[in-house]
Chain A
Amino acid sequence: DARVTQTPRHKVTEMGQEVTMRCQPILGHNTVFWYRQTMMQGLELLAYFRNRAPLDDSGMPKDRFSAEMPDATLATLKIQPSEPRDSAVYFCASASLSLEQYFGPGTRLTVT
């Protein structure tokens, strides 16, 4: 069945290292979202793309985060350099014209 997939599922890294998270949206979905979830802040929108074009990245710390969609089947979120405060669960979601967003399983990031 159609699902959003994310890799890796878990990532432990040291402060200062680069982290890359990947997302494969549901086939045919043209809108892709990146969220971050923490206990303190809840679910925060970092960035989103429509038809591979970035529409809004205002939720993302620009100095260290970058998001790209090199093709319709792959979205990436990169953190460089990573910091302990980046520890969170990062979700990717995709949507079609209906606007209903379907979430991937998430990447649990721990930065030590």
Chain B
Amino acid sequence: QKEVEQNSGPLSVPEGAIASLNCTYSDRGSQSFFWYRQYSGKSPELIMSIYSNGDKEDGRFTAQLNKASQYVSLLIRDSQPSDSATYLCAASTSGTYKYIFGTGTRLKVLA
């Protein structure tokens, strides 16, 4: 059974701090990884995709990928209360076009 695992949280961080969200995956054939943000009552919104080992930065967000350890992370710098949401990690499955989603980590940024 191919899986993507995330700590459900809540992860609470003070405003202005760095929030670190982590994800592990079981399918060694996965090549593409995605982070989605989902506000309560809304649909998932793509915020980052990463395909190669290392870091990828986009504004306050940095995605990190380590394929050897089967580990993906998302760092949010200068966290804002508006970042409070559930963050979903997804991994592509080898040989298909579909993703496996984790169950999400709930982030709370405290003002």
Contacts and interface: CB of A to CB of B under 8 A. Distances in A.
Interface stretch (B12-20, B53-61, B62-70, B94-102): B94-102
A101 B43 CA distance: 12
Given A42-B103, A42-B104, A43-B88, A99 B46 contact: no
A45 B90 CA distance: 12
Interface stretch (A12-20, A66-74, A79-87, A102-110): A102-110
Interface residues of B, number: 19
B8 to A, nearest CB: 10
Interface in A19-67: 31, 33, 42-43, 45, 48, 50, 55-56
A95 interface: yes
Contacts of B99: 45, 101
Interface residues of A, number: 20
Contacts of A91: 43-44
A62 B101 CA distance: 22
A95 B32 CA distance: 13
B43 to A, nearest CB: 4
B97 A95 contact: yes
Contact of A104 (B43, B96, B97, B101): B43
Contacts of B42: 105
Given A42-B104, A43-B88, A102 B46 contact: yes
A101 B32 CA distance: 12
Contacts of B104: 42
- A-B pairs, top 5 by smallest CB distance, nearest first, are A103-B43, A42-B103, A43-B101, A103-B44, A106-B43
Given A42-B101, A42-B104, 9 more contacts: A50-B97, A55-B97, A91-B43, A99-B97, A101-B34, A101-B46, A101-B99, A103-B44, A106-B43
